[in-house]
C-alpha cells in the first residue's frame, strides 16, 4: 500500500513539473526605448584649462659699482614708481669736489691752449716774412698739439667726474613696483651690492604648467584667454611667449610663459590667473557625447542602433575634457549611436528608437 502511494506521489509531481515547463504563448521579449544620434563630421577644438601665477616681465636690480654713504632712500616696499623717479641719494660731497677740480683743470688747459694758439699764429706770420726759422715754427706747432691733447684729456676727466656725480642720484629706469628695499640712510654702499629690486609691471607674464600630452599642441605666438580670480571683471588676451623644452622634474609638466599688457597696473606679481588655451584643432571629425559612453566589463563601449538591436562597439577615442569626445577609429559617419536608455543595454538587446 505504501509503495503504491509513493508511486502516485512521484507521478503527480512529475505531472506538475511538466505543466510548469509549458511555455506561455502570451510572453513577448522586453524592448527598450532609446534615443539615438546620427554621427556627422564636425569641427572640434580642445580647450586646456590651467592655473598660473602672474610674474613681472622684468625684475631690475638697482646697484652701484662704488662705495659711498647713503644720504636718503626715497621709496618704500610695495610703492609704485615711474621711470626717472629719484630713488636713492648718495653723499655727493667728494664727487662734487672732483667735478670742480676737473673743471679747473679743463679751464687751465683751455687757457694754455689759447695762449699757445695765439703764439703759433704770430710765428706763422713771421715765418711767411722769412723772419723766423723753420725750427722755431715747428716747436710752436708741437707745443700746440701737446696742449690740445692735454685739453682733450681734461675734458674726458671732467665728463667722467660729472657722470660719477650723476651716479650719486639713483633714478628708476622704468615704471614698476618696489619689490625689496635693501639699503637704509647712513649705510655705505658696496660695489655690486643690490640696493633695491623693482618689478617692471607695464607688461607682465603668466607662468603656467602644461601636461606632456598637451604641450605639443601649443604654438608660440598663439592668443589665449586669461581671467584673474582676484579681479572678477578683468579678462585679458595674452600671447604664448615661450614654451619650455624640459619638463619639471617633480611634476613632469612643461612651463609655458604668457605675456600680456598691464597698462592699468591692476595686475601684480603673485596673483593667480585662470588660463584657457586652445590646443588641438580638428576639422571633419566625428564627435560623440560623453554620456553615450558606458562601462561594460571594464571597457568603454558605445551602442549602435542596427536592425532594431543594440550593437556593442568599442571605439578608439581621443582624450577630452569637454562633454563631446572625438572619435579616432571604430565609428563612421551615418552610424546611429544610442545616447539615452543605456542603463540595461547589452549586445543584441532589442531596442526601439523614441526619436
Q: How far is CA 133 from the centre of its chain?
A: 79
Q: What is the mean pLDDT of the chain?
A: 87
Topology of the domain covering 32-44+285-353: 2.40.420
pLDDT band, very low/low/confident/very high, at 2 (cuts 50, 70, 90): very low
Model-level pTM?
0.54
Residues 152, 266: Cα–Cα separation, whole Å: 51
Q: What residues does CATH 1.10.287 cover in the chain?
A: 92-166
Domain 50-57+201-282, what architecture?
Beta Barrel (2.40)
Q: What is the pLDDT of residue 9?
A: 47
- Nearest alpha-carbon partner for 349 in 310, 312, 314, 303: 310
Domain range 92-166, CATH class: mainly alpha
| Exposure letters 55-65 (e unless 16+ CB within 10 A, then b) | bbbbebebbbe
Q: What is the pLDDT of residues 267-281, one digit of tens each?
A: 888 899 999 887 667
93-128 helix and 134-166 helix, angle to the nearest 10 degrees: 160
For residues 124-130, average pLDDT: 89
CB–CB of 256/218 below 8 Å?
A: yes
Give yes or no for residue 8 having a pLDDT over 50.
no
Q: What is the pLDDT of residues 70-90, one digit of tens each?
A: 999 999 998 999 999 999 999
- pLDDT higher at 72 or 1: 72
pLDDT band, very low/low/confident/very high, at 264 (cuts 50, 70, 90): confident
Q: What is the pLDDT of residue 4?
A: 45
Q: What does each C-alpha distance from 239 to 144, 206, 243, 253, 278 come to in angstroms?
A: 63, 10, 11, 20, 12
Q: What residues does CATH 2.40.30.170 cover in the chain?
A: 50-57+201-282
Give yes or no for residue 198 having a pLDDT over 70.
yes
Rg, the chain, Cα only: 44
Q: What is the pLDDT of residue 28?
A: 58
Residues 305, 38: Cα–Cα separation, whole Å: 10
With helix as H, strand as E and coil as C, how does the chain read?
CHHHHHHHHHHHHHHHHHHHCCCCCCCCCCCEEEEEEECCCEEEEEEEEEEEEEEEEEEEEEECCCCCEEEEECCCCCCEECCCCEEEEECCHHHHHHHHHHHHHHHHHHHHHHHHHHHHHHHHHHHHCCCCCHHHHHHHHHHHHHHHHHHHHHHHHHHHHHHHHHCCEEECCCCEEEEEECCCCCCECCCCCEEEEEEEEEEEEEEEEECHHHHCCCCCCCEEEEEECCEEEEEEEEEEEEECCCCCCCCCCEEEEEEEECCCCCCCCCCEEEEEEEEEEEEEECEEEHHHCEEECCEEEEEEEECCEEEEECCEECCCCCCEEEEEECCCCCCEEEEECCCCCCCCEEEEECC
CB–CB of 338/310 below 8 Å?
A: yes
Q: What residues does CATH 2.40.420.20 cover in the chain?
A: 32-44+285-353
Q: How far is CA 244 from the centre of its chain?
A: 10
Q: Residues 137-140: contacts with CB within 8 Å, 24+ apart?
A: 140/116
Residues 226, 204: Cα–Cα separation, whole Å: 12
Q: What is the pLDDT of residues 38-65, one digit of tens each?
A: 999 988 777 788 999 999 888 899 999 9
Strands 70-73 and 86-90: antiparallel
Amino acid at each position: 500500500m505504501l509503495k503504491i502511494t509513493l508511486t502516485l506521489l512521484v507521478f503527480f509531481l512529475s505531472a506538475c513539473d511538466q505543466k510548469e515547463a509549458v511555455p506561455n504563448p502570451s510572453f513577448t521579449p522586453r524592448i527598450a526605448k532609446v534615443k539615438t544620434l546620427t554621427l556627422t563630421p564636425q569641427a572640434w577644438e580642445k580647450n586646456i584649462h590651467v592655473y598660473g601665477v602672474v610674474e613681472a616681465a622684468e625684475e631690475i636690480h638697482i646697484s652701484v659699482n662704488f662705495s659711498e654713504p647713503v644720504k636718503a632712500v626715497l621709496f618704500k616696499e610695495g610703492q609704485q614708481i615711474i621711470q626717472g623717479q629719484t630713488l636713492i641719494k648718495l653723499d655727493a660731497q667728494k664727487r662734487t669736489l672732483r667735478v670742480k677740480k676737473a673743471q679747473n683743470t679743463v679751464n687751465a688747459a683751455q687757457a694754455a691752449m689759447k695762449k699757445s694758439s695765439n703764439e703759433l699764429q704770430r710765428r706763422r706770420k713771421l715765418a711767411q716774412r722769412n723772419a723766423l726759422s723753420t725750427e722755431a715754427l715747428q716747436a710752436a706747432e708741437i707745443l700746440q698739439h701737446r696742449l690740445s691733447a692735454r685739453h682733450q684729456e681734461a675734458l674726458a676727466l671732467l665728463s667722467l667726474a660729472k657722470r660719477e656725480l650723476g651716479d650719486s642720484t639713483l633714478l628708476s629706469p622704468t615704471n614698476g613696483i618696489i619689490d625689496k628695499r635693501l639699503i637704509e640712510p647712513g649705510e655705505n654702499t658696496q660695489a655690486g651690492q643690490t640696493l633695491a629690486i623693482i618689478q617692471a609691471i607695464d607688461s607682465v607674464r603668466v607662468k603656467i604648467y602644461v601636461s606632456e600630452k598637451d604641450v605639443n599642441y601649443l604654438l608660440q605666438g598663439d592668443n589665449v584667454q586669461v581671467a584673474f580670480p582676484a579681479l572678477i571683471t578683468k579678462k585679458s588676451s595674452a600671447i604664448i611667449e615661450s614654451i619650455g623644452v624640459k619638463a619639471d622634474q617633480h611634476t613632469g609638466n612643461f612651463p609655458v610663459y604668457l605675456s600680456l599688457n598691464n597698462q592699468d597696473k591692476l595686475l601684480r606679481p603673485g596673483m593667480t590667473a585662470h588660463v584657457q588655451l586652445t590646443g588641438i584643432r580638428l576639422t571633419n571629425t566625428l564627435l560623440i557625447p560623453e554620456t553615450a559612453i558606458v562601462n561594460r566589463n571594464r571597457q568603454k563601449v558605445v551602442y549602435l542602433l542596427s536592425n532594431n538591436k543594440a550593437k556593442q562597439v568599442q571605439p578608439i577615442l581621443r582624450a577630452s575634457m569637454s562633454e563631446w569626445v572625438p572619435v579616432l577609429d571604430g565609428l563612421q559617419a551615418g552610424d546611429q549611436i544610442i545616447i539615452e536608455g543605456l542603463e540595461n543595454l547589452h549586445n543584441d538587446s532589442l531596442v526601439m528608437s523614441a526619436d
